[in-house]
């Protein structure tokens, strides 16, 4: 009996010690795109907020860009499953499952799902050099000049690529634009501002300040309805309103840990994430960028995973219709 009590006490102590042991070193948020872009921004705002809710946490952001986000995702799938290496990624987690014939990880099997972060509309943009000011002008201009123009995106499977693919398919251009892949829409935005590329579809988190500053032209938003309450984006039409029937694309971000991360660590991370999603300062910062912080069941690991599984099925239909794949 005495031995049993000792064992039980030992186990309790070990569990307590384990719980206290996380984090035992800096936590790294891996962003699978270049610094200065939309995913980087969300990850940095979240790191700053989550730090408040995980005692003794030092959270750093690492950019592991390339191949539309799949390089960074593979890095996290292979990392030690101890909660210190986490992936902050967006809709690409689901889109790449339909776009890539071969992926270096299995989206639904090689990760623990921590929870979803936000939903982010996109904006269709052009360089200030384009001879068009409204969506109607822009579409007419593209119909005539599309073959001569460049569309920037952040690699096959990125949100900007998916949006460009869907939009070009929906408007049925005779001549597709030449696509130019960047390591993220942070650097792509610099070239759009400089006029080295002509068109981009990007998340409002990256575009709002550039539109407000007049550095790029915005033509439309990708939500079903216009963002009528947003101070900067309220006057832009939705692509549906402009006649692209059923066009709707909203980007979401989520957090992932390597498969096998212990349940108590996942709980610590999810608790801190949920507290961050209710943090007034975080909500305000996201709101200013046009992003909507998640408040529903997708905040839970189960809800998040179910949503991604549904999105994989939904996006595969869209990608198959466009008929373009990555090798």
Q: Which residue bears the tokens 């950019």? A: 63
Told to check if 33 binds ligand MLT by CB under 6 A, we report yes
Q: Measured between alpha carbons, how far is 179 from 197 in angstroms, rounded to an integer?
A: 9
Stretch that binds ligand MLT, among 38-46, 72-80, 272-280, 313-321 (CB under 6 A): 38-46
Residue 36: CB minimum distance to ligand MLT, A? 8
Task: Give the Cα separation of 239 and 42 in Å (integer).
Answer: 25
Count of residues touching ligand MLT (by CB under 6 A): 15
Residue with the two structure tokens 């005779």:
174
For residue 81, state whether it binds ligand MLT (rule: CB under 6 A).
Answer: no
Interface residue with ligand MLT, options 38, 115, 146, 290 (CB under 6 A): 38
* The one among 23, 27, 39, 233 contacting ligand MLT by CB under 6 A: 39
CA–CA separation, 47 vs 264, rounded Å?
Answer: 20
DSSP symbols for 108-131: TTSEEEEEEEEEEEEEEEEETTSS
* Residue 64 or 266 with smaller CB distance to ligand MLT: 64
158 contacts ligand MLT (rule: CB under 6 A): yes
Q: What would the x/- binding string for ligand MLT be over residues 116 to 155, using CB under 6 A?
A: --------------------------------------x-
d(CA 71, CA 32): 7
Q: Residue 32 burial by CB count (10 A; 0-12/13-18/19+): exposed, middle or buried?
A: buried
The reply to whether 290 sits near ligand MLT by the rule CB under 6 A is no
**DSSP class per residue in 62-114:** EE---GGGHHHHHHHHTS-SSSSEEEEEETHHHHHHHHBSS-SS-TTTSEEEE
Query: Residue 159 interacts with ligand MLT (CB under 6 A)?
Result: yes
72 binds ligand MLT (CB under 6 A): no
Q: Judged by CB under 6 A, does residue 45 bind ligand MLT?
A: no
Q: Which residues bind ligand MLT (CB under 6 A)?
A: 33-34, 37-40, 90, 92, 154, 158-160, 184-186
């Amino acid at each position: 009996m005495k031995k049993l009590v000792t064992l039980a006490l030992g186990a309790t102590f070990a569990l307590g010690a384990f719980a206290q042991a996380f984090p035992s070193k800096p936590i790294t948020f891996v962003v699978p795109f270049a610094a200065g872009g939309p995913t980087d921004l969300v990850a940095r705002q979240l790191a700053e907020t989550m730090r408040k809710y995980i005692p003794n946490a030092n959270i750093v952001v690492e950019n592991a860009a390339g191949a539309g986000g799949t390089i960074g995702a593979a890095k996290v799938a292979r990392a030690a499953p101890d909660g210190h290496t986490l992936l902050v990624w967006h809709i690409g987690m689901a889109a790449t499952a339909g776009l890539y014939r071969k992926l270096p990880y299995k989206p639904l099997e090689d990760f623990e799902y921590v929870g979803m972060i936000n939903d982010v509309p996109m904006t269709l943009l052009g360089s200030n050099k384009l001879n068009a000011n409204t969506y109607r002008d822009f579409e007419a201009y593209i119909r005539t000049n599309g073959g001569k123009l460049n569309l920037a995106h952040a690699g096959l499977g990125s949100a900007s690529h998916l949006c460009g693919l869907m939009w070009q398919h929906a408007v049925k251009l005779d001549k597709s634009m030449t696509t130019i892949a960047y390591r993220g829409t942070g650097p792509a935005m610099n070239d759009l501002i400089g006029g080295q590329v002509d068109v981009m579809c990007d998340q409002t988190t990256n575009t709002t300040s550039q539109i407000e500053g007049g550095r790029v032209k915005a033509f439309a938003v990708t939500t079903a309805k216009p963002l009528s309450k947003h101070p900067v984006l309220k006057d832009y039409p939705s692509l549906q309103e402009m006649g692209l029937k059923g066009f709707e694309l909203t980007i979401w971000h989520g957090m992932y840990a390597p498969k096998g991360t212990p349940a108590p660590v996942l709980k610590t991370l999810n608790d801190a994430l949920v507290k961050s999603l209710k943090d007034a300062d975080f909500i305000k910062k996201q709101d200013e960028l046009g992003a909507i912080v998640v408040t529903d069941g997708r905040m839970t690991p189960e809800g998040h995973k179910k949503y991604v599984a549904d999105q994989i099925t939904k996006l595969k239909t869209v990608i198959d219709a466009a008929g373009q794949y990555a090798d």
